[in-house]
Structure 1
Amino acid sequence: MTAYPSAVRLRRAAVIGALCAGIAVTQAGCAEKTDPDKGTNGVGKQTPEKIESQAKAAAAAAGSVHLSGTLVSGGKSFTLDLRLKADGGSGEVKSQADTFQVLRVGDQLYLKASAAFWGKSDSAGKLGDKYVKVPQSDPTYKQFRGFTDMHVLLDGLLGLQGKLTKGGYTTVGHTRAVPVSADAGKGGKLTVSLEGTPYPLLMERAGGAGRVELSEWGKTFPLEAP
């Protein structure tokens, strides 16, 4: 009658011993150092200045980009969802006053907005929710064209102001990335891809002047006049 409890105790001790050994092995494995740059494009090893420079160069050489987020300009806030490339772009721009679709094919610029956007003229009702070609002589042509000019928009967007520092690795969506901040974020923060080409993935502008995600770099899309 006494053999059974002893056997149980022995088996229990063996199980506990194996469990503790397994935990020890696991802990030892977790303690091993891993290379954070393994499988990356290596840009994270660079200085923050070099990371910013490589990201800007990658953006300048890209054929297209999808840009989405918010920008504050001239005291006005705009929500953007745009696909841009060298010869034009298309997408949606929202302001506090209105929402409009913008399309540029080469030098030809088109806007689609509500009738209220076009004012109180007799033709405003006919223009509502239809693409309207904007003459290059119109004072607003240059302003709206800027929303579809990929490189002008990126040049104005990607600037950091102040002393640069590199942060710990993070992710934007499912992509590993490294952030570079200017003056601890007060001068803006740029997050750059650690996978493939070091494209900018996220720009947080200085002074709370907007937060924009950049994706689908180099992905083609059609542009056709309405």
Structure 2
Amino acid sequence: MTATSRRRIRRAAVLGTLCAALAGAGLTGCGGGEDPDAGTNGVGKLPAAEIHTKARAAARAAGTVRLHGTVEAGGATYTLDMRLRSDGGTGSVAAKGATFRLLRIGDQLYLKADAGFWTHDGGDESAAGKLADKYVKVPQGDPAYQRFSGFTDKDQLLDGLLTLHGTVDKDGRHEQGGVRTVRITGDRGDGGSLDVSLEGTSYPLRLVRAGRAGTLGLSDWNKPFPLEEPAEADTLDYGKQLPTT
């Protein structure tokens, strides 16, 4: 073996040792191109189904979330901006030209809307005058309770929304609000898509529902917010059943 060959072998050994040390420290730059997972939480390396499982588990474990965007259900399109936590939620919902606010603390659901909401589709105008712009207590036996309380139930809402239908695959690296994500899809997008954070906890950050039935952003994970009973002067108990809403 010539002296030149021996020097080349020594250089290769030194470079190999250096690259191994850099890799162990989470650094890159030793051949093979840029690592797309460098500096991430490593979720992007997992199979798509496992990414989906981790994202749903992270969502369930989180104390709070803000959910905003559109959902199509029952022939109607709902525009949501809700802040949710395990014991309730608060925010606004718009549908069919009407906008209303929801507030749930424990089992008690309140609905606040203007007179136009209460008179929509031929509602009782005299009742609307009493209900308008008040936090109206919604009885648990009233159809409105079943219809609207789900918008304030974090786990129920997310369990349903974060479902992807069909075969789940990865669809590359993306970015949402300046945060790097890995996108997973069901049936190449026809079954919905989900962007999962590659930074910090693997929270879902953007959802496109199956059949393009709405797009939702998910943010403010684990950021506390208050849930407070409305002032007594702004609250109305209408009785066991509300006018048709």
User: TM-score, normalising length from structure 2?
Assistant: 0.78
- Give 1:34 shift: 1.4
Which residue matches 1:193? 197
- Of the structure 1 ranges 130-139 and 195-204, higher mean CA displacement relative to structure 2 is found in 130-139
Provide, for residues 169-203 of structure 1, a one-character-per-residue CA deviation record: whole Å limited to 9, x for no partner: 11001100000011110010011000011000011
Q: In the alignment, residue 57 of structure 2 is paired with which amino acid?
A: A
User: Following superposition of structure 1 onto structure 2, how do residues 128-167 of structure 1 map, counting pairs within 5 Å?
Assistant: 128-167=132-171
Which residue matches 1:73? 73
* Distance in 2 separating the partners of 1:184 and 1:100: 36
* Distance in 2 separating the partners of 1:79 and 1:87: 22
* Distance in 1 separating the partners of 2:212 and 2:76: 12
- Give 1:44 shift: 0.1
Q: In the alignment, residue 174 of structure 1 is paired with which amino acid?
A: G
Provide, for residues 142-175 of structure 1, a one-character-per-residue CA deviation record: whole Å limited to 9, x for no partner: 1111110000000110000011111211100110
Which residue matches 2:45? 45
Q: In the alignment, residue 67 of structure 1 is paired with which amino acid?
A: L
SS at match of 1:40: coil
Which residue matches 1:91? 91
Which residue matches 1:14? none
SS at match of 1:153: helix
* Distance in 1 separating the partners of 2:105 and 2:166: 37
Which residue matches 1:218? 222
- The reply on whether 1:56 has 2:56 as its aligned counterpart is yes
Q: In the alignment, residue 216 of structure 1 is paired with which amino acid?
A: D
Which residue matches 1:111? 111
- Give 1:213 shift: 0.5
SS at match of 1:123: helix
SS at match of 2:130: helix
Provide, for residues 78-110 of structure 1, a one-character-per-residue CA deviation record: whole Å limited to 9, x for no partner: 000000000000000000231000000111110
Which residue matches 2:209? 205
* Distance in 2 separating the partners of 1:122 and 1:184: 52
Structure of larger gyration radius:
1
* Distance in 2 separating the partners of 1:32 and 1:149: 47
Which residue matches 2:238? none
Provide, for residues 49-75 of structure 1, a one-character-per-residue CA deviation record: whole Å limited to 9, x for no partner: 000000001011111100000000001
Q: How many residues align?
A: 197
Which residue matches 1:6? none
User: TM-score, normalising length from structure 1?
Assistant: 0.84
Q: For the aligned residues, what is the CA RMSD?
A: 1.3
The percentage of aligned residue pairs carrying the same residue is: 57
Unaligned runs of 5+ in 2: 1-28, 231-245
SS at match of 1:167: strand
Runs (4 or more) in structure 1 with deviation over 6 Å come to none
* Distance in 2 separating the partners of 1:167 and 1:146: 31
* Distance in 2 separating the partners of 1:164 and 1:217: 24
